[in-house]
Amino acid sequence: VVAPTEADAMQRAVALASRGRGRTSPNPVVGCVVLDAAGAVAGEGFHERAGWPHAEVRALTQAGPRARGGTAVVTLEPCRHTGRTGPCTAALVAAGVRRVVVGVRDPYPPAAGGVDVLRSSGIEVEVGVGAPEAARVNEAWLTFARHRRPHLTWKYAASLDGRVAAADGTSRWITGPAARADGHRLRAESDAVMVGSGTVLADDPQLAVRDADLLGGQPLRVVVDTEARTPATARLFDSAAPTLVAVAQDAPLERIRMVESLAAVARLPRGPGGLDVAALLAELAARDVVSVLLEGGPTLAGTFLEGGFVDRVVGYTAPLLIGGGGLPVLGGAGAAGIDAAWRLQLDEVDRIGPDLRLVARPRRKES
């Protein structure tokens, strides 16, 4: 058996981490591989659910005495704080590992500093191995930890000519079943699913995750509804999942009362286009929402984009032409000139059934 390199072990740790996706919130996903003193794999683990053992502890348990003198390869800096479980730094020291290889540092102050603790215990630490992949697998949580706001994915389904609805407002089944199933998977991975009042009034979506797709609990359904116009009969008031309706502090009181009788309500300040979306994101962060899937529509997406809050775009494009008065993918004021357009980096392009799936992220420097 050929011993894996530490870089290989990190790729394996990233793959392990990804198995926790959609289940660990508000914790990060973490994967760990323990190599014995000879460099052979002795243990593997990933963080499966908040409150459950951390990846390092699981990998060390599997490795047992073989961890002594070995190397722990872990996607995220081991924590040094005692949350619901003990500090991972203490577990690594107790197991007698000689070396720890870390993908990315933990930017969350109460947990950070694990690298220093390990070094002061005489353990050799290397940081940054496989960092791009280790950061990507944890992109939602890292955004949350760095900026204290949820990571936001804007998802849409459009025609080849960039329309999300026809002139009469109908938009169902632009894409095929495979793209729609993929959209459901994105929902299942998110802590919250968000739409504007326009989409609720036009489509009456239910926004729940089918049981078969559920990873953790149902995502919180969030409606951005300045004047509390969501009708009492809306499907997202059913019992399939929890719902939060964000309204203006000064929205009509009788409307707020009606909504309060059916769902949780957050009263927020007004901002450009309706509600203050930064205040909304802060409100969601306070509720431990780490990841948001914005499912529409074009007007709300325009406001989030203009605020610099869109971290990832997942666009499904169908070979279908709508033309004419069809609704464009993106609303709002838009870019006045091509120089002011939002330039994204195209990270994934896949055929999905008869449609295309594109994943793009804004080019921005990480702090």
Ligand X SMILES: NC(=O)c1ccc[n+]([C@@H]2O[C@H](COP(=O)([O-])OP(=O)(O)OC[C@H]3O[C@@H](n4cnc5c(N)ncnc54)[C@H](OP(=O)(O)O)[C@@H]3O)[C@@H](O)[C@H]2O)c1
Q: Which residues are at the interface with ligand X (CB under 6 A)?
A: 156-157, 164-165, 169, 171, 174, 195-199, 202-203, 224-227, 229, 271-275, 277, 295-300, 303, 327, 331
d(CA 17, CA 174): 34
- How distant is the alpha carbon of residue 112 from its chain centre? 21
Q: Is 133 a catalytic residue?
A: no
Q: Which is nearer to ligand X, 128 or 252 (CB)?
A: 252
List residues bridging with 345 in a β-sheet.
361
Q: Which is nearer to ligand X, 58 or 357 (CB)?
A: 357
Q: Where are the alpha helices (DSSP H) in 46-87?
A: 55-63
Q: Which is nearer to ligand X, 134 or 223 (CB)?
A: 223
Query: CB 165 → ligand X: shortest distance, Å?
Result: 4
- Cα torsion 42, 46, 50, 53 to 10°: value is -10
| Catalytic option among 44, 56, 189, 283 | 56
Closest CA to 177 of 210, 150, 130, 134: 210
User: Which residues, including other chains, have CB under 8 Å from residue 306's CB and lie 6 or more apart?
Assistant: 272, 332, 333
Q: Which is nearer to ligand X, 172 or 364 (CB)?
A: 172
Q: Percent helix, strand and coil across the chain, each rounded to 5?
A: 30, 25, 45
* DSSP characters over 337-367: SGGGSPPEEEEEEEEETTEEEEEEEE-----
Residue 264 dihedral angles phi and psi, to the nearest 5°: -75, 150
CA geometry: angle 80, 7, 366, nearest 5 deg: 60
Q: Which is nearer to ligand X, 89 or 175 (CB)?
A: 175
**Which residue type is seen at 273?**
G
d(CA 346, CA 188): 23
CA separation, residue 304 to residues 290, 330, 335 (Å): 16, 11, 14
Q: Which is nearer to ligand X, 213 or 227 (CB)?
A: 227
Question: Which residue numbers are catalytic?
Answer: 56
